[in-house]
Amino acid sequence: MRLSRYIIIQLCVFQLVSTSGLYAVGPDAAAGYNRGNMLYRKGNYRDAILEYNKVLATGVANGHLYYNLGNAYYKSGKLGRAIIAYERAQQLLPGDEDIKANLLFANAVKKDRDPEGEVGLLLRAVDSLYGSLTEHRLTILDSLFLFLLIGAGTCLIWFDSRRVLWICLVSLLGLGFGGTTLLLANRIGARTSNSHAVVLPDALMGRSGPGEDFLQVFEIHEGTKVSIQRVEEGWMLIRLSNGVGGWVPLGGLEAI
């Protein structure tokens, strides 16, 4: 009796802490966001962008805010910045259909076409699932697995009967906990390495080395997403999605 009460209390506290309402930002940010929306509706995209950026400057990271900012950039003809905003919005709200649709649309209208690889159905499903697991969600999932694992472990120790059941449960939950921990570590690793960027100018020349004297190897255009390899003397080594690498000046790209 005492034990079950202990487990229930644990879960309640977990739920309370996990709700995002605990992390709501003050009403000023919402007011700025709503002002931006109003300006957008009037067709004043420039001021809408300024308003959204003011809210972002307060340190808030909100998927809807980035999405609306992306829309305002797109309507102002800044495709590259729109794609960056949509990418950031997607990182925060990976399951959002609107963000997905607009990112797809913006990528479809940009000048460079992404190479289309043959992706199997299973791989696509796994990719989609992984994409929807944000760091936040993975953290909560990992914590949930930990709680359940401890609960099952407690039962295993406490009850002398049904030991096989408890052992199986502990094993499964242990695997779940281990898996989510690995995924979480991967996510955090990807975030901290911050390895993607988007081209901002109309066209950007990729060279074989960090300098204007090097051979031109490719030309990429606004909105193209590249992978950042390293930075050296004001130049950045990037890799395109088709595997081709080259050096571009630092100012031409913005990290997502």
Partner 1 sequence: MSKRCFGMSLIGRSIVFLLTVVLLASESVFAVVDEFEIQLSVDRTQLVVGDDFNMTVLVSTKSGGLSFGQTPKLTLPEGIEVTGSSSSTSNAMNIVNGSVTTSVTTRLNYSVRATRAGSFVLGPLRMDHKGKSYESNKIRVDVGKVQRGSGAGSAPDIPGSGNPGLKQIQEALFVSALPDKKRVYVGEQVTLSYNLFTRQNINNVNYANIPTYTGFWSEPLFDTQRLNFKREMLDGKEYHRAPLKVTALFPTTSGKHQLEQLELICDVPDTRAQQRRFDAFGFEDLFRGGAGGRTQKVRLRSNDVELEVLPLPDGAPPGFEGAVGKYKISVLVSPTSTVVGEPVSLKLVVSGSGNLSAIPRPKYESGRMFKIYDPKETVQVEKQGTRIGGRKTFEYVIIPQEAGTLEIPSFSMPYFDPVEKQYRTARTDPVRLNVGAGDKHLPAAGGTALTRNEIQVLGQDIRYLKPDLSHLDDHGVRLLEDWKFLALNIVPILGFAGVVLYKRHRNRMSHDVAYARRRRSTGEARKRLTKANQLLGETVGGELYSELNDALSQFLADRLNVPTAAITPDSARALLLDKDVQKEMVEEVRGLLEQCDYARFAPGSATSEVRAKDYSQAEKLISALDSMI
How many chain residues bind partner 1 (CB under 8 A)? Answer: 53
Q: How near is the Cβ of 32 to partner 1 at its closest, in Å?
A: 9
Nearer to partner 1, 184 or 238 (CB): 184
207 Cβ contact partners less than 8 Å away, ≥ 6 residues apart: 214, 215, 216, 217, 246, 247, 248
Angle at which helices 63-75 and 45-57 cross, to 10°: 150
Please report which helix (H) or strand (E) contains residue 254, including its range: strand 253-255
By CB under 8 A, tell whether 107 contacts partner 1: no
By CB under 8 A, tell whether 64 contacts partner 1: yes
By CB under 8 A, tell whether 49 contacts partner 1: no
Contact 87, 255 (CB under 8 A): no
**The Cα angle at residue 162 between residues 160 and 167, in degrees rounded to 5:** 95
DSSP letter at 78 equals -
Nearer to partner 1, 43 or 120 (CB): 43
Q: How near is the Cβ of 190 to partner 1 at its closest, in Å?
A: 14
By CB under 8 A, tell whether 174 contacts partner 1: no
By CB under 8 A, tell whether 6 contacts partner 1: yes
Torsions phi, psi of 123, nearest 5? -60, -40
Q: How near is the Cβ of 133 to partner 1 at its closest, in Å?
A: 14
Give the Å distances, CA to CA, from 198 to 6, 79, 109, 250: 50, 10, 15, 11
Query: x-or-dash pattern for partner 1, window 126-165, by CB under 8 A?
Result: ---------xx--xx--x--xx--xx-xx--xx-------
C-alpha 44/C-alpha 82 separation (Å) is 16
By CB under 8 A, tell whether 71 contacts partner 1: yes
Please report which helix (H) or strand (E) contains residue 231, including its range: strand 225-232
By CB under 8 A, tell whether 3 contacts partner 1: yes
Binding site for partner 1 (CB under 8 A): 3, 6, 10, 13-14, 17, 20-21, 23-27, 29-30, 33-34, 37, 40-41, 55, 60-65, 67-68, 71, 74-75, 92-93, 98, 101-102, 105-106, 135-136, 139-140, 143, 146-147, 150-151, 153-154, 157-158, 188
